[in-house]
């Protein structure tokens, strides 16, 4: 894949309808989505992926990361998450069901985490994932 043809930029307010449609289609966390939380990956001005940095009072989380099916497994998600980490605070969390992907990006599983993320674990479990299939991970710069 030619990653040079992909641009990772801050989302624009006009990107939100596409982000919302894709996020809902991927069953991602769509709660309280605001355009300025998002980074988008675009190829030829078309959104092919996105992710957001969600700030809570007690922590910051990488969330709502998605890549359209025809662009998956090509490094697009990695580019998005790396940019979110670069722009984020020294400590950043993720709640996920794909720990191997986030482990490659420097996230480590944690057993103790901010209480606000418990809601995210429960959200994942509502999609028939067991407690053992949902992970909270943390990266520290």
pLDDT at 67: 97
Residue pLDDT, tens place only, 61-80: 999 999 999 999 999 999 99
Count of CA atoms in the C-beta half-sphere (13 A) of 72: 8
pTM of this prediction? Answer: 0.92
Mean pLDDT of 17-46: 95
pLDDT at 94: 97
Question: Could you tell me the CA-to-CA distances from 21 to 15, 26, 134 in Å, in that order?
Answer: 10, 9, 24
> What is the tally of structural domains in the chain?
1
For residue 123, give its domain range.
3-140
Question: Is residue 5 pLDDT above 60, yes or no?
Answer: yes
Task: Please report, for the domain that includes residue 104, its CATH number.
Answer: 3.40.630.30
**Rounded distance between C-alpha atoms, residue 100 and residue 67, angstroms:** 17
Across all residues in the chain, what is the average pLDDT? 93
Helix (H, G, I), strand (E, B) or coil at 56: coil
């Amino acid at each position: 894949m030619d990653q040079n043809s992909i641009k990772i930029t801050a989302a624009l307010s006009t990107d939100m309808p596409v982000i919302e449609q894709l996020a809902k289609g991927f069953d991602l966390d769509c709660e309280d989505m605001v355009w300025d939380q998002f980074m988008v990956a675009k190829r030829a001005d078309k959104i092919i992926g996105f992710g957001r940095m969600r700030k809570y009072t007690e922590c910051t989380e990488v969330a709502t990361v998605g890549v359209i099916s025809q662009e998956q497994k090509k490094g697009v998600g990695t580019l998005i998450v790396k940019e979110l980490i670069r722009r984020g605070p020294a400590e950043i969390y993720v709640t996920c069901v794909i720990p191997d992907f986030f482990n490659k990006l420097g996230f480590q599983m944690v057993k103790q985490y901010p209480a606000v993320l418990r809601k995210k674990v429960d959200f994942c479990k509502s999609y028939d994932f067991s407690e053992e299939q949902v992970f909270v991970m943390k990266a520290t710069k």
